[in-house]
Amino acid sequence: LLLTNVFHFFSPRPTSTMIFSTCLQYLLEEWLLNNLLYIVVYSVLLLATILFAVPLAIVLFFYFSGLFLLLYKRIRKLNGNYSSNIWDPVRLIIAIILDGCGRLWHGYELHGIENIPDGPGLIIYYHGALPLDYLYFLAKIFILKRRCCYSIADDCVHALTGVTGIIQNKKEECLNVLKKGKLLGISPGGMREALFSDKSYKLIWHKRKGFAQLAVDMKVPIIPMCTQNIREGYWIFGQSTLARRLYEYSRIPLLPVCGGLPVKFRTYIGEPILYNPNVTAEELAAKTKIALQSLIRKHQQIPGSICRALLERFHKEKKKE
């Protein structure tokens, strides 16, 4: 009896705070159980909105950049020759904004810039679902070297011509760019590679060799380039055999891009493939494809992983010994 009394004396007694917290916990659990379905549905809708809204916001940013360039042209009363240095101030503004976004959201890094020649050259790159990495590269190289790398792109992005130096896919225009000692960026996979490649980072070039013939004709080097985790940052929604057939028939990119996760982006520029008069265009195209595949395998873990790509934001690139 004495021991029982001692136990009750020293045992903790419920206080008003404990009673309030217990009631609050009970009410919270009951609310969660009653509204679990709504919570799940709204969470999925919010996530889907974010994943589709970020790519859309990026596209709108570039078109607004084109509008900004048009206003600059009207105010300054400039002509349409975008290759002139008079456009450098507005290019620099857009490049700084773009580079800041890349470093802030994706921790963007550029490695191997020493492999880019001072003269003309072809930048051959892997095309992600949303080639934001390539635009980061354009901004970075303009900031560091004040060089405008011209690009061949789909007709739907020609509104950005003045911002990134986009030209039409015509041999005469490509020759003029290289004759002026400029850089020219080409993705042989193009829209097909953007839509139907995946986390295995396979190249979808088919039998394209026009870029190689251009390099042979102009006797310029080819520089392979790829970006780590580009497929983990943005991906295509709705890939299927039917979608592939529809694209091959219509050549219209109907599949939406989703993503926008803040994964780590590192762009790697490989060693240039120098001009060799004994190498044909077919051989050069095959050699370029092998070089780009090797560059991807060296710097990208395949298959890609979103979790690993997010964790790489906290890892620094290992220095070469």
Tens of each residue's pLDDT in the chain, 321 residues: 444 454 444 445 555 555 656 766 666 766 666 666 655 655 655 555 555 566 666 667 766 776 777 777 777 776 656 666 777 788 888 889 889 889 988 999 999 999 999 999 999 999 999 888 998 999 999 999 988 888 887 655 554 444 456 777 678 888 999 999 999 999 999 889 999 999 999 999 988 889 999 999 999 999 999 999 999 999 888 888 888 888 888 888 888 888 888 899 999 999 999 999 999 999 999 999 999 999 999 999 999 899 999 999 887 765 443
Please tell me the predicted confidence (pLDDT) of residue 268: 97
pTM of the model: 0.79
**φ, ψ (nearest 5 deg) of residue 42:** -65, -35
Please tell me the predicted confidence (pLDDT) of residue 318: 53
Q: Write the class of the CATH domain 80-313.
A: alpha beta
The β-bridge partners of 124 are: 186, 224
Please tell me the predicted confidence (pLDDT) of residue 275: 94
For the record, the structure tokens of 172 come out as 């005469």
The Cα-based distances of 263 to 194, 305, 309 in angstroms read 18, 10, 5
The Cα-based distances of 57 to 50, 61, 156, 289, 291 in angstroms read 10, 6, 16, 33, 34
Residues with catalytic annotation?
A: 127
Please tell me the predicted confidence (pLDDT) of residue 56: 66
For the record, the structure tokens of 35 come out as 């509204």
Please tell me the predicted confidence (pLDDT) of residue 54: 64
Q: Residues with Cβ < 8 Å from 255, sequence gap 6 or more?
A: 195, 236, 237, 238, 239, 243, 247
Closest CA to 169 of 183, 147, 185: 185
Sign, Cα dihedral of 184, 275, 277, 187:
negative
The Cα-based distances of 17 to 23, 30, 78 in angstroms read 10, 20, 73
For the record, the structure tokens of 33 come out as 């159980």
Please tell me the predicted confidence (pLDDT) of residue 27: 66
Please tell me the predicted confidence (pLDDT) of residue 9: 45
